[in-house]
Amino acid sequence: MYNKRVVVAIGGNSLTPTDQSNWIGSQFKNTRTSIESLLPLIEQDYSVVVTHGNGPQVGIALRRVEETRDKLPDIPLGVLVADTEGSMGYMIEQSLLNKLKENGIDRSVATVLTQVVVDKNDPALLDPTKYVGSFYTEEEAKKLAAENGWIVKKDADRGWRRVVGSPIPTDIVNKKIISGLLDADNIVIAAGGGGIPVYVDERGLYEGVDAVIDKDTASALLANLVGADELYIMTAVSKVALNFGKPDQKDLDKITLEEADRYLKEGHFPYGSMGPKMKAAILFLRNGGKRVIITDIEKLSEAIEGKNGTSIVKN
């Protein structure tokens, strides 16, 4: 019997190559470093699901498509999400299997390409805000938009980019398979990049959506659906803070669900940084979760023991 069932959501930047001249080798290296922090959980017989971001990786894939569209067939965004979920899942799976073998731990690891259901009428699909792909001049962007049916917007002062919808996930197609793998004591890698967005048509069949799903929100939903006790959201800082980056910054060690909700509404957690993570934490706790930890992946073990990170609990 497992100790706890947990979902560990690793940020895509933790797995991003730091050596642009050796993209894959560098990504493998960073993946191996990142999964070191999972070993203590496995040694303590936790039932573990690993999710991960893919922003930098899918951005590169999309740019490759954009820059070769006059030579090679176009690939829709949903398929690129699937591509990166598979390739990154392979890297995490192999790195984790090797680490288990090195430590004499006999557990299997499975990567599940995960379809995540969204509402095809979600307002986020009608008013896209998620920037993806390359930067263009205004003239280039509007020309590509006319040619490809894109929606483009100015991304601060950095140029113009394509924007796509980021709908709210409502269900996980593969939830029973993932639960079954966990019940059989496997470690599962799932919902990479937020999962592959699909909707259910009038016949009850699945169809792909040209969108991306927030990784942390999808992780929270998956955690609830597989009965996880705790959700661990990995990010670039060791603790969540109020007034982040200001002279009166206050790091948070432990807060309640009510406090998290209040701080979010007060604007302490912007959309482009801690906001989605805090929303995911609230979602998980409201739907049966017991604790959320937000921290740097290297501080995870300390955070589980209450010695670092930010813990969010119901009360």
Catalytic center residues: 12-13, 130, 215, 277
> Would the pLDDT of 33 be above 70?
yes
- Residue environment code for 102-125, b if the CB has 16+ CB neighbours within 10 A, otherwise e: eeeeeeebbbbbbbbbbeeebebb
Sorting pLDDT into bands at 50, 70 and 90, what band is 155?
A: confident
- Comparing C-alpha atoms, which of 166, 275, 272 is closest to residue 212? 166
Rounded Cα–Cα distance for residues 211 and 296 (Å): 28
In whole numbers, what is the pLDDT of the chain averaged over residues? 92
Does residue 315 or residue 14 have the better pLDDT? 315
Residue 14 has a pLDDT of 78
**Cβ atoms within 10 A of the Cβ of 230, count?**
20
Sorting pLDDT into bands at 50, 70 and 90, what band is 66?
A: confident
What is the average per-residue pLDDT within 168-172? 97
Sorting pLDDT into bands at 50, 70 and 90, what band is 307?
A: very high
**Cβ atoms within 10 A of the Cβ of 156, count?**
7
Sorting pLDDT into bands at 50, 70 and 90, what band is 1?
A: low
Query: What pTM value is reported for the model?
Result: 0.92
Sorting pLDDT into bands at 50, 70 and 90, what band is 56?
A: confident
pLDDT in tens, 90-133: 999 999 999 999 999 999 999 999 999 999 999 998 888 888 87
Does residue 85 or residue 18 have the better pLDDT? 85
Residue 272 has a pLDDT of 67
Does residue 67 or residue 264 have the better pLDDT? 264
Contact by Cβ (8 Å): 297, 34: yes
Residue 16 has a pLDDT of 75
> Would the pLDDT of 38 be above 90?
yes
CA atoms within 13 A on the CB side of 62: 23
Does residue 198 or residue 30 have the better pLDDT? 198
> Would the pLDDT of 244 be above 90?
no
DSSP of the chain: --S-EEEEEE-GGGGS-S-GGGHHHHHHHHHHHHHGGGHHHHHTT-EEEEEE--HHHHHHHHHHHHHTTTTS----HHHHHHHHHHHHHHHHHHHHHHHHHHTT----EEEE--EEEE-TT-HHHHS--EEEEEEE-HHHHHHHHHHHT-EEEE-TTS-EEEEEB-PPEEEETTHHHHHHHHHTT-EEEE-GGG-EEEEE-TTS-EEE-SB---HHHHHHHHHHHTT-SEEEEEESSSS-EESTTSTT-EE-SEEEHHHHHHHHHTT-S-TTTTHHHHHHHHHHHHTT--EEEEEEGGGHHHHHTTSSSEEEE--
pLDDT in tens, 215-242: 999 999 999 999 999 999 999 899 999 9
Q: Which of 15-19, 34-38, 56-60, 145-149 has the highest mean pLDDT?
A: 34-38
Contact by Cβ (8 Å): 37, 14: no
pLDDT in tens, 269-283: 887 678 999 999 999
Sorting pLDDT into bands at 50, 70 and 90, what band is 57?
A: confident
pLDDT in tens, 179-216: 999 999 999 999 999 999 999 999 999 999 989 999 99
Domain boundaries, the chain: 5-313
Question: Which CATH architecture best describes the domain 5-313?
Answer: 3-Layer(aba) Sandwich (3.40)
Residue 189 has a pLDDT of 98
Residue 92 has a pLDDT of 97
